[in-house]
Structure 1
Amino acid sequence: MHAVVFGNVTAIIQRMYARRSLYHTRMKDLKDFIRVHRLPQQLKQRMLEYFQTTWSVNNGIDANELLRDFPDELRADIAMHLHKDILQLPLFETASRGCLRALSLHIKTSFCAPGEYLLRQGDALQAHYFVCSGSLEVLKDNMVLAILGKGDLIGADLPGKDQVIKTNADVKALTYCDLQYVALRGLVEVLELYPEYCSKFMADIHQDLTFNLREGSEIEVGACLSPPPVQAPAPGDAG
């Protein structure tokens, strides 16, 4: 009995030290990279803070790498669980289970630190982003257009064939943010496989977006934020 107990404790301690050793190895590699390429201090600090924060969140585990060798059937079930928050959006209510399973394999996770830009104005939009936690602001010409928080969806209505969507504003993190995103290319592939849901998605995406990043849609945003015009009194109504 003593041998079993101490053996298990020893194994646990060894695993703890192995994880810590991996952290220090990767941190050393990162610092060596920074030194060899002579990165400026500000960029160096951003890289170190990002590495330390993401490690504290996922303990250095890359889910995509970990699940890569599993069969698609099992990966889809795991992905459905990992990404259940974004898949429960009203936008996906009418999608079949097969469609959701296919879509879940194209969903990835991302992380954004305070002050970092998720997107910059004029970038080619490549994904829809769902905010799992944290807050971001949408900026245009140093003016705040929107504040985004948990449960918000940002992206754009899908373009025509071979059309590139250019973002109409900057998206900047105010706090540490966890995000899930689905790449537009993967989304289009899934919609082509499920045409019965495609028309419904195309009709609903515009209204389900918290903020539409398509270039030109800022006109609609401005109209929503501007106060209604004051109607001048008709002649004879004064007094």
Structure 2
Amino acid sequence: RVSNFVLDPASPWYHRWLALLSLAVSYNYIFIVLRGVFNRVQQSHFYLWLGLDCVCDCLYLADIYVGAHTGYLEEGLPVTDPHRLLRRYLSQPSTKLDVLSSLPTDLLYLSPSVTTAGVWVRFNRLLKVRRVLEFFDRTETRTSWPNLFRVLQLVLYILVIIHWNACLFFAISKALGLGSDAWVYPPRDDACQLSPAEPYNYSSEWDQFHREYIYSFYWSALTLTTIGETPHPVLDLEYAFVTADFLVGVLVFATIVGNVGSMIANMNAARSEFQQKMDGVSGVAMELLLVKRYMEFRRVGKQLEHRVIRWFDYHWCNKQSLDESAILASLPDKLRAEIAIHVHFDTLRRVSIFRDCEPGLLIELLLKLRLQVFSPGDYICRQGDIGKEMYIVKRGRLSVVAGDGRTVFATLKEGCVFGEVSLLNIPGNKTGNRRTAKRTQPRLFGPVLPQQTGPLGGARRRGRDVLRKDNLLDEAAVARAEEAQETQASSWLGWPTNVGCLQARLARLTAEFGSSQAKLKRAVARLETAAAAEVSSASSTGILTGCHCRRRPPPMPPQ
């Protein structure tokens, strides 16, 4: 339903709506002042302008509806209730500007004092500029070339300022009288013998729209860029206008220089950071000793230092991130998994032993992949090393060489994989997960997969097939491992029965404990009763004995 329509401000449709509305606002900013100054353009194409004005006014009215149905976040939760959205929209200060910019002031065309030449009645349409600024902000965050977009945005601002200043110059020339002096339009050639204050009867060549606008734009560009070389003013108003133009031109020029310098600095920020690491300047994020200074402090040999610098240079030339994991560390696991699938899924799919693995395992493997860059001539692994990683050649070439480092047994190209068998820790591997060949690197960088555990049954079966093909698998050890696995599996299968027996035994012991506890309580109660009875009988006997002794008369002395 239309009444329940809610637009997400983060959706592409909202951005497209801002783009369409920005075209309407830009149309008003460019053509309202143009039609107001150059009347012949307004009068000769009045119905064309009227149709375009109606389209823009409809977009303005539709934007009020869109603004009242645009969702927002409150404490991290999206708000989609139409009544709350409407109350929020009406409480914003920008709502007043939206209403003022949409007022039908074009009806003043019907007034005899205004007529169709009074395009200034549409000046309220310029109050919608905030939507253009919002569109620029959102586009800058979405585009992959933000610096280029800032340059284009700055150029657009400059062109609009020059356009408005050109129209203002021609309006002042019309107010003072065209050709009334040497400063106003049209310009006078060098052969003119008139004084600057005398009027100039210009030819019909200068009485054309394209001549009027182009010269005015040229004069405005020269003035605002402080280049000068324009006719000197004659009247006080002309002096004041030129002085104000010079001040605005200085501000515009300073803004251009500052923005362009900032853009260049942003574009070279990555290169500057890389150069800082190579020159020994501490980084803000890493706060570690830099590579070159560290090597100088440790007196590393020139050959090794040259290799390290060459690795950095190769890294930079191939536009590779120095720390890919640090960039993605702040993202949640789900987003990191989606990015890993997008970046590394094609690479991992080349490995045959992982083709039929479970999706959960593949996602876990993708999260373990990381990029490593090797310089030409570097050894990735040597024969006899314990294998803990699997390598996938993503770009470049890799040579499998003998112990002398010269004899090449094979060359691995893009898509080749090695180290996958040692990664699986297959029982019965005669090499004991040790590398069986030494590999050197002409030009390679590829993702690295650390040692991984999980549901790798299918992958291990294909790994055993590879080892069996190369006669590197101990079948007896495989049989023992399978037997141990079956024994373990059977013991696991018997656990539900054992757990049931333990539960029954526990219930019986609990019942026996409760019964014995009740018996003990009854016995203790009987003992307490008997003890209380004995204590009461003993106390009564003592009282009677005492009374009898007190009544006995004292003994008589002997006669």
Is 1:204 matched with 2:204?
no
Q: Partners of 1:26 and 1:155 in 2: how far apart?
A: 33
Matched with 1:170 is: 438
Q: Could you tell me which amino acid in structure 2 is paired with residue 170 of structure 1?
A: K
The alignment partner of 2:330 has SS state of coil
**Map 1:29-48 → 2, pairs under 5 A:** 29=280, 30-48=291-309
> Residue 134 of structure 1: SS of its match in structure 2?
strand
Other-structure match for 1:20: 271
- Give 1:181's aligned residue: 448
Please say if residues 23 and 60 of structure 1, whose CA atoms lie closer than 8 Å, have aligned partners that are also in contact.
Answer: no
Greater Cα radius of gyration, structure 1 or 2:
2
Please name the residue that 1:71 is paired with: 332
CA RMSD after TM alignment? 2.7
Task: Tell whether the 8 Å contact from 1:108 to 1:180 is kept in structure 2 after alignment.
Answer: yes
Aligned to 2:386: 124
> How much does 1:208 deviate?
6.8
Q: Is the 8 A contact 1:91 1:208 kept in 2?
A: no
Q: CA contact under 8 A between 2:399 and 2:441: conserved in structure 1?
A: yes
- State the secondary structure of the residue aligned to 2:435: coil
Q: Secondary structure at 2:361's aligned position in 1? A: helix
Q: Output the amino acid matched with 1:94.
A: D
Are 2:421 and 1:159 equivalent residues in the alignment?
no
CA shift in 2, pair 1:32/1:141, >3 Å? closer
In structure 2, distance between residues paired with 1:85 and 1:98: 16
**CA apart distance, 1:200:** 0.8
How far does residue 11 in structure 1 lie from its aligned partner after superposition?
4.4
C-alpha displacement of 1:40: 0.8
Higher helix share: 2
Deviations 1:203-227 (A, max 9, x none): 1235579xx8xxx84xxxxxxxxxx
Question: Comparing both structures, which one devotes a greater share of its residues to strand?
Answer: 1
Identity within the alignment, %? 27
Structure with more contact order per residue of length (Cα contacts < 8 Å, sep ≥ 6): 1
Cα 1:96–1:203 shift into 2, 3 Å: same
Gaps of 5+ in 2: 1-155, 160-254, 281-290, 473-559
Tell me how far apart the structure 2 counterparts of residues 206 and 87 of structure 1 sit (CA, whole Å): 20
How far has the Cα of 1:51 moved from its partner? 1.0
Residue 19 of structure 1 deviates from its aligned partner by 2.1
Distance 1:167 1:66 in 2: 32
Taking a change above 3 Å as real, the CA distance of residues 151 and 160 of structure 1, as seen in their structure-2 partners, is: closer
Read off the aligned partner of 2:303 and give its amino acid letter.
Answer: Q
- Per the alignment, in what secondary structure is the counterpart of residue 268 of structure 2? helix
- 1:229 equivalent in structure 2: none
* 151-160 or 73-82, which deviates more: 151-160
Offset, 1:10: 4.8
* CA distance in structure 2 between the aligned counterparts of 1:95 and 1:160, rounded to whole angstroms: 16
Matches within 5 A, 1:43-54: 43-54=304-315
1:160-216 Cα deviation digits (max 9, x unpaired) = 58x962212210012x212112112xx22xxx2xx3xx211111235579xx8xxx8
What is the CA–CA distance in structure 2 between the aligned matches of 1:115 and 1:21, rounded to whole Å?
Answer: 28
Q: Distance in 2 between matches of 1:24 and 1:40?
A: 21
TM-score when scaled to structure 1?
0.74
Q: Secondary structure at the match of 1:35?
A: helix
Structure 1 alignment gaps of length 5 or more:
218-239
Runs (4+) of structure 1 exceeding 6 A deviation are none
